[in-house]
Chains A and B, each alone.
Chain A
């Protein structure tokens, strides 16, 4: 793929870099463009690309928990039907006090995505009105999609084994106990090391 074929993608990136301060961006491949912004620019960048660059279709919104680095990464994914380019707008949100502005007045369906991210990650979308919860009901643990929510530990704490099943968790151990036979260590037996 020669660089000439990525002309319109490069134009979009260059235009955004020239329009907003502290914005970096790159062309990922054909039809995929990515920019990284500060969280306070979210609403101005989204409004701009919708009104002036034709990114009218809101495709997706996601959140990634980079717990080691101490932030959440919010990703807004937009599509321009005219130019046929997908734009990913990424913003970092501090993990200690995660709060960003609400943007569901730009596209109404963003409300659903925000509700889910608020519930699953605990990010506060200030100013968001209406129902807050989406999927979970009566949930009072930490937001479950965070990396520090360990499902195994939660299950051990909250649920108990059915009576008579306490010793049946490990299949090999259970079979050995019940039959009295030794099961060979297949990994060792068939390994080629």
Chain B
């Protein structure tokens, strides 16, 4: 029997199916992927080296640019790490505002994910809808922080300014709108037989090995494992909010989509609770002169649950006014490299982009 000869295909770095710029070198036999290799390096901007030459406050302005779909966890983790090393208290109201930012950012990131996941399957109506709806959240961000995507709002000591007049009611209006839209997304995507047939049984991750392989976030919850940094290692005010962590047991693209859809609803509920329960008070514990602000020697590892999984920051201070080391670890570092290479084996070419989107691969945070 003649063996089919394997062909090498280069998916990316410019490809409509790739979430960002990265190259996947595929070896295919016919339609089936035999081997996949991730090649990154097209988005390396050298943030960590840059931060070693900028003082603590200057560094906070560039961390948000590390991750494009969801910049806020970067700002939050950087600030929390600096506060932990220095021992700085953050006012109560600032913690609530930070939580609000995190949940709004999670919603914006999920809307972008809805778009990407369906775009890679060919259902282009969804990206048109969700990217448009995401604009309502970006309008809220612009009103609050001045920036639509990169906010530079959460800094060590608190947040930059308080909520403007009427902001809370505008947030609630947006939540009502998104909740209504979610039903329409259900009709178009989740009740859609074609999407179901495409997504079920694809991109399976072995639940028994998922934690060992470093899977985090919705892919881990889609494998039936209830794991979320907000309940395992609570931070901000998540211990004061009432929310569930949904799981599914299928461990395929379909399960991950259902998990994200359920979390979308949970986030909307959380935003409403935050607006309802937020106390009054100051929003900033003022830092000293930034040019002369030295953080005592020490290190800290802080993590938060972003829309795509566990986002970690390891920050080291040597007692000076500049960071000695800031090392960022996003969920895509594992999902986009070793995990992707593993589960693409045996997949169909047309499912490569589909699977990649379901894992939440984000090349900017793999190579910073």
Chain A contact residues (Cβ within 8 angstroms of B): what range? 20 to 34
Q: Is A136 an interface residue (CB 8 A)?
A: yes
A60-B312 in contact (CB<8A): yes
Given contacts A60-B314, A62-B327, contact A151 B49 (CB under 8 A): yes
Shortest distance between the CB of A9 and any CB in chain B (Å) = 13
Chain A interface mostly helix, strand, loop or mixed?
A: mixed
Contact with A along B309-332 (1 / 0, CB 8 A): 010101010000000110101000
Q: Which of A81, A109, A111, A135 contacts B232 (CB 8 A)?
A: A81
Q: Is A182's CB within 8 Å of the partner chain B?
A: no
Which of A31, A88, A145 makes the CB contact (< 8 A) with B48?
A145
Q: Check if B49 sits within 8 Å of A145, measured CB to CB.
A: yes
Q: How far is the CA of A112 from the CA of B337 in the complex (A)?
A: 7
Tally of chain B residues near chain A (CB < 8 A): 34
Residue on A nearest B329 in the bound complex, by CB: A60
CB distance from A155 to the nearest CB of B (A): 11
Contact present for B334 and A112 (CB under 8 Å): yes
Q: Would you call A56 an interface residue if the criterion is a C-beta within 8 Å of the partner chain's C-beta atoms?
A: yes
Complex interface residues of chain A between 105 and 153 (CB less than 8 A to chain B): 107-109, 111-113, 131, 134-137, 144-145, 147, 151
Q: Is B168 an interface residue (CB 8 A)?
A: no
Measured between alpha carbons, how far is A135 from B312 in the docked complex, in Å? 20
Asked if B286 is at the interface of the complex by the 8 Å CB criterion, the answer is: no
- Of B48, B227, B334, chain A has the most CB atoms within 10 Å of the CB of B334
Report which of B227, B314, B338 forms a contact with A81, defined as CB distance below 8 A.
B227
A60 — which chain B residues lie within 8 A by C-beta?
301, 312, 314, 327, 329
Pairs across A and B, CB under 8 Å, 18 listed: A29-B84, A57-B212, A57-B214, A60-B312, A62-B327, A64-B316, A64-B325, A77-B301, A77-B314, A107-B213, A107-B214, A108-B338, A109-B337, A112-B338, A134-B41, A135-B367, A136-B44, A137-B41
Which A residues form the contact surface with B (CB < 8 A)? 29, 31-32, 56-60, 62-65, 75, 77, 81, 84, 86, 88, 107-109, 111-113, 131, 134-137, 144-145, 147, 151
